[in-house]
Amino acid sequence: MERTFVMIKPDGVQRNLVGNIIACFEKKGLKIVGLKMMRIPRDLAEKHYGEHKDKPFFGPLVEYITSGPVVAMVLEGKDAVTTVREMMGATNPLKAAPGTIRATYGMDIGRNVVHGSDSPASAGREINLFFSPEELVDYRRDVDRWIYE
């Protein structure tokens, strides 16, 4: 099974969408193996968004992501990265497919409620930034036989 990193951003937390968003992933069949609420320190935010360091939106992005609490999680499932990306929808909520998380809850590209890793490599890097190995829980779910062949 593949793991991916997901973050409910400050706007999602402030708008009381945490339960709704987590429920979307659970209803799909993804398994939560790590979950915590936190305020992201500036240095961690800068590492997380390091690929955008030379772009004009880097500063405001770091300011935004550190402006309030987030919910960080690690989800596990078959093709978890792709599944989560499809469920989230396009970065711009106005261009996201109907029924996706961003289309349902987002109104602005800068306030699109959720982040998810864009590749297995990014997932590994982001999971390691936000979680220590002992914070991740391996367990077996009996329901998995009804989700996967």
So which residues are the catalytic ones? 115
Please check if 82 is assigned to a binding site: no
**Cα-Cα-Cα-Cα dihedral sign, residues 20, 26, 94, 91:** positive
d(CA 22, CA 25): 5
Residue 128 backbone phi and psi in degrees, to 5: -70, -30
125 annotated ligand binder? no
CA distance 104 to 147: 25
Was 15 annotated as part of a binding site? no
102 labeled part of a ligand binding site: yes
3-state secondary structure 87-117: HHCCCCHHHCCCCCHHHHHCCECCECCEEEC
| 49 phi/psi in degrees, rounded to 5 | -100, 20
Report whether 83 belongs to an annotated binding site. Answer: no
- Residues making up the binding site for ATP: 9, 57, 85, 91, 102, 112
- Residues making up the binding site: 9, 57, 85, 91, 102, 112
